[in-house]
Chain A
Amino acid sequence: MRSLRILAAALVSSALAWSQPPLTAEQKRLNKESFEFIWSTIRDQYWDPTFGGADWTAVHDEFRPRIERANTMAEARTVMSQMLARLGKSHFGIIPADVYGDLDSREEGGTASAGFDVRVIENRALVTSVEEDSPAARQGVHAGWEIIRIDGADLAPRLEKVADLYRSSTMRELYLMRSVLGKLSGEEGSLVQIQFRDGTGSRIDKEIQRIRPQGSLAKFGYLPPSYVWIKSRKIAQDIGYIAFNLFLDPARLMPEFGDAVHYFADCPGIIIDLRGNPGGLGIMAMGMAGWFIDKPDQRLGTMYTRQAPVKFAVNPRPPVYHGALAILVDGCSASTSEVFAGGMKDLGRARIFGTRTAGAALPSAIDRLPNGDALQHALADYISEGGRTLEGVGVIPDVEVKLTREALLAGHDPVLDAAIEWIKARK
């Protein structure tokens, strides 16, 4: 899908090329450096050393004269995108410098949140849940409210820009959410001015104090520290419910997850809520699957690296839970969430509810290019156990259920409700 986006962007860029200023000699030099960086990165890191049949050296020699002739940034991006398109894979692309900043929430300066979660549904940024006892909750912010402005800036143009870039991508919802959360985040204790549209359609202005994100701060190597939380409780009387925001902090998360599964041992069903979970350590998906699968030699899928295929093997962890298992996903469930949900679906062990996931299952990197743009590229391929690639496709739910503003305003969670209904029907 993303190759379509790349091609579409290239076409649009070409159409607009006449209006763009010509490049300086320095910009041309940086574009040529960027071209070489992209070409050599693929040469050295692409998982398939045959490049899917493309003669990668010949590709270089074909496109090199074209990057030398490129007179605008749009032309340069078109050349680089077309070179990447020769791989015939969907998860490679050039992110223009101005959009890169919008997608990286870390550039907003601070990790404190406004105390509520967000999804962009039908082009509108909606509050989907509000943290209890948060300043936002105390000010009456409610699920279903639409965010109109943040700190005086209309949100719509920002959403349009991101939506346009990712209009053909399965990652559209993920990047839209990130672009909103990036604007809402900031330093702990700072204030953010937000204009909402409430359930009656009225505009309401609120000044909300940012708070520390939920959970405990977890470190993993040199990655930026992240707040990780896990919640579990019984819902609908006797159904187990587990949600966590990241596949990180395994020393704490794995035992707590295992304890929750054991606590729900007598429940007719367990619901694992991975909506909004962008993934993390892939190995944790294998470990969690072990609490639900008692058959040995099972795997969630296989990751293909340049060195060797790596099986995502599942180790049964007795006592294994044998009841019904529902997994909730949405377009912001990515990476390890998709590996887990896709693998459990393929193994016939779980029923998936919600909307298609982000299709961003691969270990990928975003490298800044010398010209200021960024190269997004995958480091491996991943095939779920059912033989399907997840990248650019995502996990397709067994039961598609969408969140709506009306349901949120009414205090309902139709995705969760559908999973509960399914479990109860099986009893």
Chain B
Amino acid sequence: MHLRYRLMPAVFIAGLFCYAGPARAEDALPKAEEILDKFVEATGGKAAYEKIHNEKATGTFEFVGKGVKGAMTNYRAEPNKMYMRIDLENIGAIEDGTDGETAWTLSVVQGPHIKQGEERAVSLREATLRAPLEWRKLYKNAETAAVEDVNGQACYKLVLTPNEGKPETQYYDKKSNLLVKMSVTVVSQMGEIPTETTVSDYKEQDGLLSPRKSHHTVLGQEFEITINQIEYNTEMPKDRFDLPAEIKALATK
């Protein structure tokens, strides 16, 4: 509610100057931290996030219009452990993970790789289970840059500068307060690759709303991830986040 009160005087002032054209967008913009906190509220609230200790999501991964798809499973656990496996038809498995310290990727095609520097930092950040609650720890700065249209929805455009890595741009729907789009430059061993992601189809599970569809554009290629099921606080093997043998072999080299 307090966001609406803050906007009212801005709207009033804009009305005073309407004869001279539109007011500068910055005048009406709420602070980024308010938008990010609103997102937490809109997706279930702090208490709901704090009840979550781990997460298992299953779904599908598909390159749009290419006929290449596969099954995807993603495990995460507090504070920042993650293991993801995508089994692409006729290509094989692609695994990515972190035990909270070592971030790695492994595929039948490219082999094992231990991430370093900025690439590692991005992985650890993305693995953070309760990232929406902990954004202040993950980003050193967050600013509301503008109001922009995303697929017909007016959205706040936020620029977040992580403690390590390139700034990320996130778009939050003005009405629903939900995240709808992200523009991120992914730093990997293959270079700095600009990516764009739109998320949609939010659904509730155990009091938390999360997007079930994401559409990604990378180097002119498009792929979609559809999450069919999310389980929270589920039983996980103790070694779920242990490093694979190939990564251990590389680490001890």
Contact = CB atoms under 8 A, between A and B. Distances in A.
Interface string B43-75: 000000000000000000001011110000000
Interface in B131-168: none
Contacts of A316: 111, 250, 253
Given A220-B68, A221-B68, A315 B91 contact: no
Interface stretch (B34-42, B173-181, B191-199): B191-199
A317 interface: yes
B92 interface: yes
Interface stretch (A166-174, A236-244, A248-256): A248-256
A250 B91 CA distance: 5
A206 interface: no
B50 to A, nearest CB: 38
Contact of A307 (B67, B107, B193): B193
B70 to A, nearest CB: 11
Given A222-B66, A251-B90, A305-B219, A311 B190 contact: yes
Contacts of A17: none
Contacts of B253: 294, 316, 318
A276 B51 CA distance: 59
Contacts of A310: 190-191, 193, 219
Interface string B200-233: 0000000000000000000110000000000000
Contacts of B90: 218-220, 249-251
A215 interface: no
Interface string A103-116: 00000000000000
A315 B193 contact: no
A286 interface: yes
A250 B193 contact: no
Contacts of B89: 219
Contact of B220 (A249, A281, A302, A307): A307
A287 interface: yes
Contact of B189 (A251, A311, A318): A311
Contacts of B66: 221-222
Chain A: interface residue count, which band?
A: 20 to 34
Contacts of B112: 315, 317
Contacts of B68: 220-221
A306 to B, nearest CB: 7
Given A254-B108, A315-B112, A307 B194 contact: yes
A287 B111 contact: yes
Interface in A275-307: 281, 283-284, 286-287, 290, 294, 297, 302, 305-307
A255 B108 contact: yes
Given A251-B91, A254-B92, A316-B250, A283 B191 contact: no
Contacts of B109: 250, 254, 281, 283-284, 286-287
B81 to A, nearest CB: 23
A146 B144 CA distance: 73
A308 B110 contact: no
Nearest to B193: A308
Contacts of B246: 317
B190 A313 contact: yes
B113 interface: yes
B194 A308 contact: yes
Given A221-B68, A316-B250, A318-B253, A251 B108 contact: yes
B249 interface: yes
A309 interface: yes
Nearest to A223: B67
Contacts of A219: 89-90
A5 B220 CA distance: 30
A83 B92 CA distance: 43
A250 to B, nearest CB: 5
A312 B189 CA distance: 9
Interface in A296-354: 297, 302, 305-313, 315-318
A306 B220 contact: yes
22 contacts: A222-B65, A222-B66, A222-B67, A250-B91, A250-B108, A250-B109, A254-B109, A287-B107, A290-B111, A294-B253, A302-B191, A306-B220, A307-B219, A308-B191, A308-B193, A310-B190, A310-B191, A315-B110, A315-B111, A318-B249, A318-B250, A318-B253
Given A250-B109, A312-B190, A317-B246, 17 more contacts: A218-B90, A219-B89, A219-B90, A250-B91, A250-B108, A255-B108, A286-B109, A287-B107, A287-B111, A297-B189, A305-B219, A307-B193, A308-B192, A308-B194, A313-B189, A315-B189, A316-B111
Identify the 7 closest CB pairs spanning chains A and B, nearest first.
Answer: A221-B67, A251-B92, A222-B67, A317-B111, A313-B189, A315-B111, A221-B66
Interface of A: 218-222, 249-251, 254-255, 281, 283-284, 286-287, 290, 294, 297, 302, 305-313, 315-318
